[in-house]
Amino acid sequence: MAKVFTITVPPKLGRPAKRERSSDPRYVDGQRLLVEAMRYLAQTDPVKNRSAIELISEHVRTRFRMSDSPLA
């Protein structure tokens, strides 16, 4: 019969160390690109492009929330 060894790890008490926050330009550029695409579609033909604008808008609402962070 085999023996099971457990190595205990003491918990780190207190607050975890905060990491430095810096914005990721790719994250911001991606959001800007989606907004520019919606603006372009709305200017060319808003009636025909309505479904495309709604699709992009839904993507922005579900993928990018106020609590999102480019660091995650």
Question: What pLDDT, in 10s, does the model give residues 11-69?
Answer: 777 777 777 767 778 877 888 888 899 899 999 998 999 999 888 888 777 766 555 55
Q: Is residue 37 part of a domain?
A: yes
At residue 1, the pLDDT reads: 64
58 contacts 39 by C-beta, under 8 angstroms: no
Q: Is residue 2 part of a domain?
A: no
Q: Greater confidence, 16 or 71?
A: 16
**What contacts 24+ positions apart, CB below 8 Å, involve 12-20?**
19/71
Q: Indicate the pLDDT class of residue 8, thresholds 50, 70 and 90.
A: confident
At residue 71, the pLDDT reads: 52
Dihedral (CA of 59, 56, 65, 71) sign = positive
Q: Is residue 33 part of a domain?
A: yes
Q: How many structural domains is the chain composed of?
A: 1
